[in-house]
Amino acid sequence: MNTTAHDWLRTLVAFDTTSRNSNLHLIETVRDALNQHGLPSTLYYSSDRTKANLFATLPAQNGGTQGGIVLSGHTDVVPVDGQDWHSDPFTLTEKDGAWYGRGTADMKGFIATALSLVPEFLAMPRQKPLHLALSYDEEVGCLGAPVMLKALQEQGQHIDGCVVGEPTGMQVVVAHKGINAYQCHVHGHAAHSSLTPQGCNAIEYAAQLICRIREIAEQFKQQGPYDRAFDVPYTTMTTNMIAGGIALNTIPDTCQFSYEFRNLPGMRAQTIAEQVEHYVQEVLLPRMRSEYQDARIEITSLASAPALEASEQDAITALARALTKDTTTRKVAYATEAGLFQQAGIPSIICGPGHIQVAHKANEYVEMAQIQACAVFLRQLSHSLCPTA
């Protein structure tokens, strides 16, 4: 049975849980280990049952399962394709006081630490429960956690607070931007390029929409709103992938591109999306249909995760600050599942071992000292649920 954070991290890293793969072997390994401690787990599967979330409750001393704090982590990792790794990314490697491997920082180090402490947690006479929540497909749009959160709400589960263990250097992060990703498919009409007026050029109309997206982005950059606590203090919009056309001498009938925006807390994502839709309906489509009456533009949501803005008055924020002795206000541009927990009525903060600067890169690592600091934090967190002397 795994007992130390190192043992657990070695086990977790060995599972290639790149988002395109199943995470079931990892989830089932955790489930079986928790079962050996007398802790049942509930699995919440994806629609095709190739992936699963896991939720387990370490009950209070009186057997209670309501309230308490949830420790949340995602089990999927980003690809290693084309990266220059100096060691096998799926074999935990120790060097210079750090452990190297895909997911060590983002965020299997946090999960490994929490799992290694389960025996200690169980021995504590808590007045409130401690929960573990492991999700799938966070890296491709936070797709798994909503399945679990919806089920927990339907079951009437109440939780007082959540710590999402993304890599923050064990510092408290209280806000992040939302993320909304879309695919746009522009349908025009093909023609030989020598007969240009007979076609409807999908690439050119896609380019006009991309330029409009850039204009909206520039408005946010120049006019705000701003929040200077963020490293990028305004909402951003970018077009990041595009494909279209079949030959140099053919007017393209299709073009696809993907874009995203990352909105500050307090900015309605729907309002931003509507700016794009308004331009499509009021400007682009009339132009296209003057050339080809069946032209159309389809915009599909690929992923959406709400922004997080924790309140300093929330008990979980105050507790995390007290335990880490960290009073600095930190807000980050990347998105996490914390916004989803907050949206579900569970006050949340982000605090975990490792550093975001090494996440997703070749030779990802987490320092042993960070894992040790995480263990201290989680022990204290569990002690906070115990009766005071």
pLDDT in tens, 133-187: 999 999 998 999 999 999 999 999 999 999 999 999 999 999 999 999 999 999 9
87 falls in which pLDDT band (50, 70, 90)?
very high
pTM of the full predicted structure? 0.91
CA angle 101, 333, 366 (to 5 degrees): 20
Mean pLDDT of 83-90: 97
Catalytic: 204? no
Number of H helices, E strands in the chain: 11, 18
**Sign of the alpha-carbon dihedral angle for 109, 73, 351, 158:** negative
- Confidence grade of residue 231 (pLDDT, cut at 50, 70, 90): confident
Options 16, 76, 137, 166, the catalytic residue? 76
CA 36 vs CA 30, 43, 75, 109: distances in Å: 10, 17, 21, 22
CA angle 286, 288, 291 (to 5 degrees): 110
Average pLDDT, the chain: 96
When pLDDT is averaged across residues 192-220 and rounded to a whole number, the result is: 97
- Residues 6 or more apart whose Cβ sits within 8 Å of residue 112: 5, 6, 8, 9, 11, 12, 371
**Tokens matching residue 364:** 């990802």
Residue 138 bears catalytic tag: yes
Q: Which CATH class is domain 5-175+306-383?
A: alpha beta
Per domain, the residue ranges of the chain are 5-175+306-383, 179-305
Q: From the candidates 16, 137, 138, 160, which is the catalytic residue?
A: 138
Check: CB of residue 225 under 8 Å from CB of residue 264: yes
7-36: average pLDDT: 97
pLDDT at 58: 96
**Whether residue 2 has pLDDT greater than 80:** no
| CA trace torsion 31, 362, 238, 142 (10° rounding) | 0
Dist CA 136 CA 147 (whole Å): 10
CATH 3.90.480.20 at 179-305, yes or no: no
